[in-house]
Amino acid sequence: MISYKKAGVDSALSDRFTEFLEKKSPLIGGFAGLYGLKDYGCDYSLVACTDGVGTKLKLAFALNRHDTIGIDLVAMCVNDLITCGGKPLFFLDYYATGKLELEKSKSIIKGILEGCKMSGMILLGGETAEMPGFYAKGEYDLGGFSVGIVKNSEIIDGSSIRPGDAVIGLASSGFHSNGYSLIRKAMEKKPSLKKFSKQFLTPTRIYVRQIEKMKDTLSKKKLKIGGLAHITGSGIEGNLERIIPDGISAVLDAKSWRVPPLMKKLADEADIKAAEMFATFNMGIGMIAVVPQKAVPLILKQDKTASLIGKIEKGTKKVEIRGISL
């Protein structure tokens, strides 16, 4: 039986480091940072966040396929940015490798440009670093930085979430870009999983247009999104609890949405417990919106990837997922 920790990733230690950062700089927190512009004469805030692709890159190296990894890079950043209500403006990338290979580099950048197009952003600039002897032959690393803007009255921060609200899940496209250390460990243990390598490389879904459409639909009925959570590392519970106020609980029914077959296959083949899967992967839900009950039929009608997966109740445990199984 394997786990994320045995694969080399200690999520609990990472959480402790995040707590340290938040204590040292109170402005750090949530999924993206906000920088108010009131001193500059406008009632808006800039939104900024940064991320990478993680060890999903190792899979791209193994398959020598680099055309979608740039989409992952943009998605991991911009999906964080929109959780506070931000409108994406521009993107910058950091691309570092031991020796520049022109066709591979073009393929990577084309993916980044495609991700920006899907997000309504422009690629404003970046840095390409050639560092001989630092990276293994054929390998590289990517970092991304997205910047957006939000009107202060339209910031989404979870503070308006109340008991009685509904929890809506938007389907993921697969594993997105988290948990790949565990996936690679599973592939080492069960070589039969390697035949699914291309599916494991499926790019991360970008939710910008879905969330914009949701906001527009609700605003026509004078309704608002109470909170948004991008489901990345630490799974649904670890990310959703970041937007839930004290004293209330998001109670989810794990049987109310479809877990992707490949996730079930991974668990079965590599003997990974259901609890470990839910603590590591998005399990088919890439973005969660907490909304008033009146908004549910409107959202489900307009977005076929959306599911009603839970409700908000009074409670001390911020997130409770019932019926976890595979």
Residue 326 confidence class, pLDDT cut points 50, 70, 90: confident
pLDDT at 8 over 90: no
How far is CA 147 from each of CA 109, 119, 120, 158, 205, rounded to the nearest angstrom? 18, 12, 12, 21, 19
**Quick check: 206 and 171 in contact, CB under 8 A?**
no
User: Do the beta carbons of residue 32 and residue 86 sit within 8 Å?
Assistant: yes
Instruction: Report the mean per-residue pLDDT for the chain.
Output: 94
pLDDT over 80 (residue 22): no
Helix (H) or strand (E) holding 248: strand 248-253
β-strand pairing of 122-130 with 87-97? parallel
Question: In this predicted structure, what is the pLDDT of residue 84?
Answer: 97
Per-residue confidence band for 164, with pLDDT thresholds at 50, 70 and 90: very high
Give the Å distances, CA to CA, from 317 to 83, 244, 251. 22, 10, 9
Cβ–Cβ under 8 Å, residues 105 and 139: no
Contact 162/111 with Cβ under 8 angstroms?
no
Give all domains of the chain, ordered by start, each with its CATH number: 31-154 (3.30.1330.10), 166-322 (3.90.650.10)
- Is pLDDT of 68 > 80? yes
Residue 30 is predicted with a pLDDT of 80
What CA–CA distance (Å, rounded) separates 47 from 149? 5
Nearest partner of 276 among 59, 268, 89, 26, judged by Cα: 268
pLDDT over 90 (residue 321): yes
Q: What is the pLDDT of residues 77-104, one digit of tens each?
A: 999 999 999 999 999 999 999 999 999 9
Instruction: Output the pLDDT for position 18.
Output: 60
pLDDT of residue 24: 57
Give the whole-angstrom CA distance, residue 106 versus residue 111: 9
Give the integer Cα–Cα distance in Å for 309 and 170.
10
Give the pLDDT confidence of 94-151 residue by residue, as tens digits: 999 999 999 999 999 999 999 999 999 999 999 999 999 999 999 999 999 999 999 9
CB 313 within 8 A of CB 251: yes
pLDDT given for residue 14 in this prediction: 63
Say which residue, 17 or 92, is predicted with more confidence.
92
CA separation for the pair 205, 47 (Å, rounded): 20
Within 82-154, where are the H helices?
Answer: 102-119
Q: Tens digits of per-residue pLDDT, 188-215?
A: 999 999 999 999 999 999 999 999 999 9
CB neighbour list of residue 200: distance below 8 Å, 6 or more residues apart: 56, 59, 174, 175, 180, 183, 262
Q: Please give the Cα distance from 188 to 134 (Å, whole number).
A: 25
